[in-house]
């Protein structure tokens, strides 16, 4: 993480805040305002109640997410997606080029293997038993009705009690006492499954929480791609080199050796406590739930550690920027599973997963409905996508003007809306009639063909390519060279909605 902070500072994307700031409400409010302005990462050096500086907003722009992965631009994210697509559904290579590509991927996997650090920086200071005090951590309380201080960007590490295969996840932890925290995870997540197995075997589950790691490791841990790779190998594939790990002091787990702070503890199956409420990514407060209680008995840390954190809420937030990057990574995987898909987009303003816009090469009637159904089942993270809009391949899915035109001109609501009722759903979605059970809507905004239409379909307005090329060649001669086509801003959905609201609020003269 310190290397990434240095990189951001060299590139003018880190601001040090020396004034005293309260981690209760104030720090998150400042960070939220800076993030909303597209501002830099922040390092709060004087946090009330703790000697640790707090780093936040490190991944507050797509550019910084790309930098964290060692890339130059967002387009390179699809190259990573190509590798993951090949790993997810490997097949024998055809021809010399594919053989080389496959051999290159195998070499990438070899380079991505984790390594053990015998003198890890995270063990520079060790606190055991009575010396453990979570009150010394600068835990944020972002929203007024939040139940307490939280850890949000810690890697929560457990392992399968039967196979010893580790799981690395990013889950919210709420401080309960000076030595305990509750962990909030869904029952389908790896940590929850490990706890279920430990309960069946009548044993405690060991837990380690690594705080202040390189953001790339956070991104790898938050990526729920169903391939048989450990998160450490997955992170190494992201980074192009293996993750350096360290053995914990009191539990049989490994953590990134460069972690700023590591908490070591255990969960006794059946021991739970009330967790929440907290502001969540939907833009509302969540409920109060019984959640597993972790008892911590050891803290290890670097000298003068830096605490890495973030907070949830209505976009834009750091988690939304991560989702935009993951969108580009998922694209090759999605194309491999659903070949007719040309491109897809998850708008940040739709929480980066509630609304999907997909474009297809349409060749037969009913194909849009098939593509929507396939999308919902393609990857686990699309299970909670509420709306799918299917458009033709010549529509730019990232340009809301084109998407809204396609919906307005190509859709008959009584024919082109397809609703799935009572499907398993996001428990944080209060719009559902029943929590955890809701409907989905697909909108077929493609050109209708064959039996999909009972009359002649309108011919789309187009110009000949020769004419367009001629105009391109004369653009400078016409004195218009300062006017260039711009790529649509991925946040343009929000901009368009803001303009519509502004127009509605402007009185007519």
Which residues, 6 or more positions from 28, have their beta carbon under 8 angstroms from its beta carbon? Answer: 56, 140, 141, 142, 143, 311
The label of the residue with tokens 């703790």 reads 50
Using DSSP's 3-state secondary structure scheme, residue 356 falls into: strand
Pairing of strands 54-56, 437-445: unpaired
Q: Residue 279 is encoded by which pair of tokens?
A: 């502001």
Which residues, 6 or more positions from 83, have their beta carbon under 8 angstroms from its beta carbon? Answer: 105, 108, 237
Q: Single out the catalytic residue among 146, 280, 416, 444.
A: 280
Separation CA 113–CA 239 (nearest Å): 11
Residue 327 carries which DSSP code? H
Q: Residue 208 is encoded by which pair of tokens?
A: 């380690």
Q: Residue 199 is encoded by which pair of tokens?
A: 């309960």
Beta-carbon count within 10 A of 42 CB: 22
Where helices occur in 171-267 by DSSP H, the ranges are 190-200, 215-221, 231-239
| Closest by CA position to 258, among listed 124, 128, 68 | 124
Q: Residue 95 is encoded by which pair of tokens?
A: 């021809």
Separation CA 347–CA 357 (nearest Å): 8
Q: Residue 350 is encoded by which pair of tokens?
A: 């739709």
| Alpha-carbon radius of gyration of the chain | 25
Question: Do residues 143 and 278 lie in contact, with contact meaning Cβ atoms separated by under 8 Å?
Answer: yes
76's enclosing H/E stretch is none
280 is annotated as an active-site residue: yes
Q: Which is it for the CA torsion 370, 489, 491, 216, positive or negative?
A: positive
Q: Which residues are catalytic?
A: 280
């Amino acid at each position: 993480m310190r290397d990434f902070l240095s990189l951001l500072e060299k590139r003018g994307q880190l601001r040090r805040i020396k004034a005293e700031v309260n981690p209760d409400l104030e720090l998150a409010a400042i960070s939220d305002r800076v993030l909303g302005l597209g501002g830099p990462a922040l390092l709060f050096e004087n946090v009330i109640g703790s000697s640790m500086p707090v780093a936040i907003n490190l991944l507050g722009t797509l550019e910084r997410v790309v930098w964290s992965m060692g890339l130059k631009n967002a387009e390179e994210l699809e190259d990573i997606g190509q590798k993951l697509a090949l790993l997810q559904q490997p097949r024998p290579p055809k021809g010399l080029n594919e053989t080389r590509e496959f051999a290159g991927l195998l070499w990438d996997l070899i380079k991505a293997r984790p390594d053990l650090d015998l003198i890890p920086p995270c063990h520079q200071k060790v606190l055991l038993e009575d010396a453990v005090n979570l009150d010394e951590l600068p835990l944020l309380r972002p929203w007024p009705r939040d139940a307490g201080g939280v850890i949000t960007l810690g890697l929560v590490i457990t392992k399968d009690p039967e196979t010893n295969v580790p799981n690395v996840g990013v889950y919210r932890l709420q401080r309960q006492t000076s030595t305990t925290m509750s962990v909030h995870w869904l029952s389908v997540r790896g940590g929850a499954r490990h706890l279920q197995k430990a309960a069946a075997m009548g044993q405690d589950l060991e837990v380690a929480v690594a705080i202040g790691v390189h953001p790339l490791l956070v991104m790898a841990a938050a990526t729920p791609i169903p391939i048989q790779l450990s998160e450490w190998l997955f992170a190494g594939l992201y980074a192009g080199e293996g993750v350096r790990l360290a053995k914990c002091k009191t539990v049989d787990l490994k953590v990134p050796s460069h972690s700023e702070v590591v908490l070591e503890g255990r969960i006794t199956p059946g021991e739970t406590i009330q967790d929440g409420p907290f502001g969540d990514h939907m833009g509302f407060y969540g409920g109060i739930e019984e959640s597993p209680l972790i008892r911590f008995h050891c803290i290890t840390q670097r000298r003068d550690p830096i605490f890495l954190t973030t907070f949830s809420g209505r976009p834009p937030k750091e988690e939304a920027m991560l989702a935009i990057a993951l969108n580009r990574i998922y694209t090759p995987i999605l194309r491999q599973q659903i070949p007719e898909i040309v491109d897809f987009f998850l708008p940040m303003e739709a929480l980066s997963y509630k609304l999907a816009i997909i474009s297809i090469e349409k060749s037969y009637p009913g194909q849009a409905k098939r593509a929507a159904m396939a999308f919902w089942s393609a990857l686990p993270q699309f299970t909670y996508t509420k709306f799918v809009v299917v458009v033709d391949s010549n529509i730019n899915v990232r340009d809301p003007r084109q998407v809204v035109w396609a919906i307005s001109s190509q859709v008959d609501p009584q024919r082109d809306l397809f609703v799935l009722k009572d499907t398993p759903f996001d428990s944080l979605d209060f719009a559902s009639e029943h929590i955890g059970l809701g409907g989905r809507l697909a909108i077929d905004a493609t050109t209708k063909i064959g039996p999909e239409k009972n009359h002649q379909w309108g011919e789309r307005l187009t110009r000949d390519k020769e004419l367009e090329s001629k105009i391109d060649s004369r653009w400078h001669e016409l004195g218009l060279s300062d006017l260039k086509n711009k790529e649509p801003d991925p946040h343009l959905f929000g901009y368009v909605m803001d303009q519509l609201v502004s127009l509605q609020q402007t009185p007519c003269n």
